[in-house]
Structure 1
Amino acid sequence: MQPAAVNAVQPRRSIQPLPDELISQIAAGEVVERPASVVRELIDNALDAGAREVVVRLAGGGVRLVAVEDDGCGIPRHELPLALQRHATSKIRDLAELEAVATMGFRGEALAAIASVAELTLTSRSADAADGCAWALQTSSGELRPAARPPGTTVEVRELFFRTPARRKFLKSEATELAHCVEAVRRHALARPDVGFAVWHEGRLLHRWPAAQALTPELAWQRRVADALGEEFLTATLPVEAAAGPLRLRGRIVRPDAAGGRGERQFAYVNGRFVRDRVIAHAVRCAYDDVLHGQRQPSYVLWLELDPRTVDVNVHPTKIEVRFRDSGAVHQAVQHALEAALARPRAGVALSAPRASAIGPAAAAAQDPAQPPRAATATAYPRTWDTTRYAAAPALALTAREPLPRWAGWPDEPARPAASDPAGGAAALERTLPSPAAAQTTPLADADWPLGRALAQLHGVYILAENAHGLVLVDMHAAHERILYEKLKAHLAAHGNAPLPSQPLLLPASFAATPLERATAEDCADVLRHLGLEVTPLSAQTLAVRSVPALLAQAEPVTLARAVLAELHEHGGAQVLKRAQHELLATMACHGAVRAHRRLTLEEMNALLRQMEATERSDQCNHGRPTWRQLTLQELDALFLRGR
């Protein structure tokens, strides 16, 4: 039998309303994608019911069974059949409540959608039940029978997609589906540290996140982050706390040197709801522009609270996307808060409690368990140097072997003192040691010089310094690069953001542009000129690049222009202008920083350390590389087996 031709004329079919069961199955295709979708929807309902303990039981990775138990307010007996009807809910009543949704769920279609593709049993007992017992409703038979359980609700979903076998074929392996279910619970657990969560699979406890009790809100958040993501995540991140009008932001963001190559562990919440939002994601990326480059991605947990009337959660069937009324204000608030957290110099904060280096585990293993660990305090190794000798060290004045690119109005770097200058030569290196009678063991206090006192230079590349915790190693080029970069940014901001110098091309580079690229080039012509780019129409479908930024003269002009046009369309001119200027400044700072194998005096080394302590983001250079590392006394002792 030959198949019917594709273009064969089909007989006209009359317009008819779809059956309710088919409507529910179509809706289920949008709401229920896999077992993790069922877990998410049922936990949303449990949290809306005021649950303080949520238990998730799974079998077959969630395909054979998803059961969610809570201790919430429960559902009265007469409302159980209504709870399974489409668009029946207790969350909202009118349009005004829809525009200010303060609950996790609000559409009233989750239970009906799940029941259309699986066997669902709803068991609940309200706290004020007159008969004092629970009632169970089975969707397949519609039977309502008494049951035994304390106040709260249990929803059992068995054999997911058994009514739509084609959908079941698209599910992954049991281990993969189980991992997605656990991740769905983890996302809820991070949003609600006041609620306890437990995940069981095939009768075995997989994860348990107890509710925070008798803890301050800040400690409760930290405890839940440590429980859900691990202590190593907590120690590798920085705290964020900010408020701007009705908007409040808190969370943890990864240190740039601890960022990974994959975009994992990125959790953003809006009013307790896990979301994947482009505005927040872009704000995070902009905040890390100066400290994270290449393919590395930041990890973060951010909780954003704002007026429910300023955010629309009715955007996507899975409620994982939102739309802000003022996305620009949200973007600015998130970016500035993260930039402030990243800009805090660890020289004044984290250096007072140095983090473990790669030698940390070995040091711990090398310690003699019979002896108490040596405290990394200044009293362990007293010194007798004059702590005021370098307090007034001059600002670092290094001149690179190749000139620093600049344009009119930019400050010149002060000249480096000559080696024969008595003020900067050997005479200035003489140390004034106290007399034996007046000698006091004066340990270096944490608050004095967090990066310590310079001792020597290693191979013309690294500076060795001693602080209260042990040994500090500094990459002098990377550190000076960051210092110059921050100075250039500050000067640019103070001088009105002058246009970037451009380099005309001998032959314009033309390319076939899309209608969107042509419209963006026309609308943002002034911004492009400010960036040093001249992009003009060559024909109705072609654009020509006639000039590029002078410092990017070697870049491929068409690729550069298209990337800038795409950024302008997506994020607007101001953000693109700032990013492009900063990239050029980073290039200039890299060329202007002191080179490797350059010999520095002790005054110059100490001046560099002091400027690092006073410079924002001094932990990383402009390319995201670390500028210093700390080796504690315990780690050094372990290397030489001291105390064993």
Structure 2
Amino acid sequence: MPISPLPPQLVNQIAAGEVVERPASVVKELLENSLDAGAANIQVDVEQGGVRRIRIRDDGSGIPKDELALALSRHATSKIASLEDLERVASLGFRGEALPSIASVSRLTLTSATPDAGSGWTIRGDGGDRFEAPMPAAHPEGTTVEVRDLFFNVPARRKFLRTERTEFGHLEEVVRRIALSRFRVGLALSHNRKPMLQLSPAMNEAAQLDRVAKVCGQTFAEQVVRVDHEAAGLRLHGFLGLPTYSRSQADLQYFYVNGRMVRDRLISHAVRQAYQDVLFHGRHPAFVLYLELDPALVDVNAHPAKHEVRFRESRLVHDFLFRSLHKVLADLRPGEGVAPARMEMPQSTVAGEAGAGAARSWSHVQSGLNLRVAEVMEAYGNLHPQTELQESPADDAVAPPLGYALAQLHGVYVLAQNAAGLVLVDMHAAHERITYERLKQGYWGEGLKSQPLLVPAHINVSRREADLVETHGEAFARFGFELLRSGPERLQIRAVPSLLSRADSEALVRDVLSDLVTHGESRRVEAAVNELLATLACHGSVRANRQLTIPEMNALLRDMEATERSGQCNHGRPTWVQLSMDQLDRLFLRGQ
């Protein structure tokens, strides 16, 4: 077959294969156009999961009559005009492919009115590469795009669509993501003429948290800490889920770069490392975070659907994200404005639900972990042999965050009273975290000591990895390694960290090199050392069922308030919960 140019219609349908995967893809592209047009309110109406009909109306700047046909032609856009514009693009869309691609696989109607126009104008297409001439239409300032019968002329693509419920689920998730990206924009969604989401513009912090609650759930909104950190021309802000509000899947993770929702491996790796020391194994953090930086420092043109980005200084971004989030999580301790692990309390209790029935009404947010605290601890007073603390004062208003101890329950829990109500502390879990943090401070404060190998180990690596050993020699030395390049693609391991002398040094070196290649840095050694220290802390937290004195219990509470990450033990379990007076009153039907 001779080489020949493709027909315009086929070119558009090929492009549609990259941009338009399902109805959710159409909604994403059209919503981004509305945001780029400066819309303050957007209405999304869909039928049959978006397959039959999608209509998006906004109050943005609109499209002039003589540009309507141009808007439906390939690579026509008002957002960039030069390579310099592309390198600093701040708009969500810029390729000029979305509208023509959507129009090539649907029956599309575009209606718009600009502020200075006497009336609106509409243009229609029927899946071909030609459109009717614009016709007058009554329309307020802004734009309406209606997409009917998606993939009607591409039956093979239509067969890959799922059920109406599944397609709407994907579409609704796109709307939710967009809603979190622009708090100042009002957004409404209806399905089969039934309202599904109604979000007013959120102009202050309280309204923004309310929107987060409506999109991510009220429980998430109650279990977040605000983040706002700026350094080196980067700013990270948003809502970070507490470690105790972890998920079995990575289904509540929203990350935006300059207002664009992205899924990026470098970002995921930095966030995962920040949570590494506080999450239970196999659990995933929840967050809504925003990264702002100079548009010239990020390439948003790295993926056809613009889901991925490429940072020009990836190591700087990774380090900034990790350090910012790591500090926030380290500062999560009683008294730092963070909520404790949450207890779900019953809405009401009836007389017939006494005894075992009443016990069923208590449900911890992490009940899905099926964790049972079977450990009991020995006298905590050994850590404070000379501590003498005052008894609980009469005025709770001056009490410290965890209050003052009242009693010990079954050698496992400390019961304390603070200004809010009752505090329950898992003594072993709290002692374990305190011990672990002290071990880390002592070990890392002195630095990693090396232990020479009697017989140096030799490993084969790539030339690029061997080069990294030479350029990052100081980093390896800081970790306690002594590595020498013995050939173009060969390394010699002469010394390893003393605490990891029994570990697989070859595998550890390879993992560190892999991280350096991918992310520009590695925390493998730190993670391996901390894992051993956590094990020591777990075994070092004594378990004998011995009753503690009130001063010993108060000493534990004060140490928790002063210890980083004291809200979770080394395994990610909560160390304390708070029961407010309102919750206690509801248990006993007071005031009902």
Place the TM-score, normalised by the shorter chain, in its bin. 0.7 to 0.9
Moved over 4 A (4+): 353-356, 364-367, 500-505, 510-565, 637-644
2:555 is matched with: 607
| DSSP 3-state at the match of 1:98 | helix
Equivalent residue, structure 2, for 1:202: 192
Question: CA separation in 2, counterparts of 1:522 and 1:247?
Answer: 30
Deviation at 1:103, TM superposition (A): 0.8
Q: Determine whether 1:466 maps to 2:417.
A: yes
Partner of 1:228: 215
Instruction: Quote the residue 2:303 is aligned against.
Output: 316
Question: Pick from 345, 361, 364: which aligns with 2:346?
Answer: 361
Q: Find the counterpart in structure 2 of residue 398 from structure 1.
A: 382
What is residue 113 of structure 2 aligned with on the other side?
125
Measure the CA separation in 2 of the matches of 1:65 and 1:588. Answer: 61
2: CA distance between counterparts of 1:50 and 1:511?
58
Alignment of 1:69 with 2:69, yes or no, is: no
The offset of 1:481, in angstroms, is 2.0
Matches of 2:468 and 2:381, distance apart in 1: 44
How far residue 490 of structure 1 moved from its aligned partner, in angstroms, is 3.0
Structure 1: distance between partners of 2:140 and 2:391: 79
CA contact (8 A) 2:340 2:567 kept: no
Query: Which runs of 5 or more structure 1 residues have no equivalent in the other structure?
Result: 1-12, 368-394, 400-415, 418-422, 434-440
Structure 2 distance, partners of 1:612, 1:442, is 22
**1:278 counterpart residue number:** 265
SS in 2 for 1:72: coil
Native 8 Å contact 1:502 1:532 kept in 2: no
Shift of 1:233: 1.6
> Would you say the 8 A contact 1:83–1:89 is kept in 2?
yes
> How far off is 1:478 after superposition?
1.7
Which string of whole-angstrom CA distances, capped at 9 and with x for unpartnered residues, describes residues 562-583 of structure 1?
6555444433444333333333
- Partners of 1:250 and 1:287 lie apart in 2 by 15
CA distance in 1, matches of 2:232, 2:467: 36
Pairing partner for 1:457 from 392, 395, 408: 408
Question: Which secondary structure does the structure 1 equivalent of 2:422 belong to?
Answer: strand
2:494 and 2:544 mapped to 1: Cα distance? 37
TM superposition shift of 1:133: 3.5
- Does 2:396 match 1:444? yes
- Residues 442, 460 of structure 1: alpha-carbon distance in 2 compared, 3 angstrom cutoff: closer
Alpha-carbon distance, 1:306 to partner? 1.5
Match for 1:583 among 523, 528, 531? 531
1:537, CA displacement in angstroms? 10
Q: Is the alpha carbon distance of 1:280 and 1:182 closer, same or farther for their aligned partners in structure 2, counting shifts above 3 Å?
A: same
Matched-pair contact (CA < 8 Å) for 2:346–2:586: no
The alpha-carbon distance between structure 1 residues 504 and 21, as it changes in their structure 2 partners (threshold 3 A), is farther
Alignment TM-score, normalising by the size of structure 1 = 0.78
1:481 is aligned to: 432
1:55 aligns with: 43
Give the whole-Å Cα distance in 2 for the aligned partners of 1:549 and 1:172: 53
Q: CA deviation at 1:398?
A: 3.1
Cα offset, 1:276, TM superposition:
0.7
- Within a 5 Å distance, the mapping from 1:154-193 to structure 2 comes to 154-193=144-183
Aligned residue number for residue 151 of structure 1: 141
CA distance in 1, matches of 2:462, 2:314: 27
Contact 1:621 1:627 in 2 (8 A): yes
SS at match of 1:585: helix
Aligned-pair distance for 1:366?
A: 7.0
Per-residue deviation, residues 531-575 of structure 1 (Å, max 9, x unmatched): 567899999999999987665677677766665554444334443
Other structure's SS at 2:119 match = coil
CA distance in 1, matches of 2:231, 2:470: 35
Offset, 1:151: 1.6
**8 Å contact 2:333–2:563 — kept in the other structure?**
no
Which residue does 2:542 correspond to in 1?
594
CA distance in 2 between partners of 1:617 and 1:608 (Å): 15
Contact 1:134 1:150 in 2 (8 A): no
Q: Secondary structure at the match of 2:301?
A: coil
Is contact 2:264-2:309 (8 Å) kept? yes
Note the residue ranges of structure 2 that are not aligned, 5 or more in a row: 352-378
When structure 1 is superposed on structure 2, of 77-86 and 628-637 the one drifting more is 628-637
CA contact (8 A) 1:209 1:228 kept: no
Would you say how many aligned residue pairs link Structure 1 and Structure 2?
Answer: 562
Deviations 1:429-456 (A, max 9, x none): 9x999xxxxxxx82222x5322122233
Secondary structure of 1:181's counterpart equals helix
Contact 2:125–2:132 (Cα < 8 Å) also in 1: yes
- Indicate if the aligned counterparts of 2:54 and 2:146 stay in contact, CA closer than 8 A: yes
Work out the CA distance in 1 between the residues paired with 2:283 and 2:121: 52
Q: SS of the residue aligned with 2:305?
A: coil
TM-score (norm 2): 0.84
Give the fraction of aligned pairs with identical amino acids, expressed as a percent.
Answer: 50
Contact 1:457 1:600 in 2 (8 A): yes
The aligned counterpart of 2:67 is 79
> Partners in 2 of 1:180 and 1:561 — Cα distance?
42
- Map Cα deviations across residues 200-239 of structure 1 (whole Å, 9 max, x no partner): 2222222221223xx43x2342232122222222102111
